[in-house]
Chains A and B, each alone.
Chain A
Amino acid sequence: MGLLSNSGTFVRFAVEGEMPENFWEFAAERIAANAFKDIDDNYEEYSIGWVSVMNMFDSQFAYASHAVGDYIVLSMRIDERKVPSAVLKKFCMKEEERVRKEKQVPKLSRGHRLEIKESIKLMLTKKAAPMPAVYDLCWNLANNTVLFFSTSAKVHMALEDLFKETFGLHLVLQVPYLAAAHLLNPAQEAELAAMNSSILL
């Protein structure tokens, strides 16, 4: 459901803040600094960064540039090691049972059980393969809007943080009320602010 798929799902953001001079140079440098770093060969739990829209393994933009005409086109990639809760529960119960038998006690204390849970979670997280997710983005520099190909609020938060970290600029989701402000003159904007819902019945 990304930028180049047959059908795309997206929202629109407005970009707010001062754009630096020699923007293209700045953008290239900042995108490189925030490029995606693979965690397949280490035990990191989470990684987020930019990759090419054409290839999720290309964080150097070797095959396609992030600069396309008057647009910056990128994908935000998030890899995360996750342990399904049922799996965590099963291994915790198994370990609690083993320790209980070993110590020959009828019940483990709450503190001890929490300790077991923590160490089991760590062990399973290290074993879990990172789950990848890729979300496309295209930034129109002429009108400073971003099309972002996900409607998830959680993913939007991750994007807003990464975008701020990369470019030092804020993204504001264009819900109807905010989109309307771009289409109206100042006098109409004031009327819009005071407007209430009409009764349609």
Chain B
Amino acid sequence: MDLVDIIAEKRFLGQEFLTWLWCKSEERSGAIDLPGIGDISVAFEKHLLLEYGEGESHEKVICQGLQAELNEARTGLRMGKKLEQARIVLGRGEYEWIMTVKASMFDFKSVKTPKTMASQEDSDDPMAVEGKILEKIGLYEQALQLVDELFRLYLTVRLSPGWEAELARLRAWIRIKE
């Protein structure tokens, strides 16, 4: 399958993952236990984009704001709209990353990395520059590692016999009216 077909046929995969992650993030007040890593925090906030239909009938709905608007996005899910983009806060230990994830393509937008001592320094010394670059890359890669592990957690349950029960929980969560 070439990339264009994969994007078209498997578009649902990223969207279903993001919806599952949203539901999962509310199960234990934002805490998700990642095998080998432990508890991390996941929070959905401020910005959600849902889409519906294809081609000419393609529609997009942006829900921006605090809790009330997130409820509106839940209503969208109940109407069969798909979660395509969300602003997520990921926390691990003292570190926090904020990023917008576009589900169908895995675009990571406006990713804010944790502030560190080195990132505050402003030096032209080649060693300092190299250190700064390496640290920044490391912080981006840590964020991607968390996303990968969350995705692996979803895929593991998705491909297991336990998916039916998980799907029932997900459906129940979508149906709940706040």
Interfacial residues, chain A to chain B (CB-CB below 8 A): 1, 3-4, 6-12, 53-54, 63-65, 68-69, 71, 73, 138, 140, 147, 151, 172-180, 183-184, 188, 191-192, 195-198, 200-201
Contact = CB atoms under 8 A, between A and B. Distances in A.
A151 B107 CA distance: 6
Given A200-B19, A200-B174, A1 B110 contact: yes
A198 B167 contact: yes
A73 B133 contact: yes
A12 B144 contact: yes
22 contacts: A1-B110, A3-B137, A7-B113, A8-B111, A9-B111, A10-B108, A11-B106, A68-B130, A71-B137, A138-B133, A147-B140, A147-B144, A151-B102, A175-B104, A175-B105, A176-B13, A176-B103, A178-B6, A179-B148, A184-B155, A195-B13, A195-B159
Interface of B: 3, 6-7, 10, 12-14, 16-17, 19, 77-78, 80, 102-113, 126, 129-130, 132-134, 136-137, 140-141, 144, 148, 151-152, 155, 158-159, 163, 167, 170-171, 174
B3 A175 contact: yes
Q: Classify the interface of chain B: helix, strand, loop or mixed.
A: helix
A15 to B, nearest CB: 15
Given A64-B130, A178-B6, A195-B158, 12 more contacts: A3-B137, A4-B133, A53-B133, A140-B137, A151-B105, A174-B106, A176-B10, A183-B152, A195-B13, A197-B12, A200-B167, A200-B170
A39 to B, nearest CB: 28
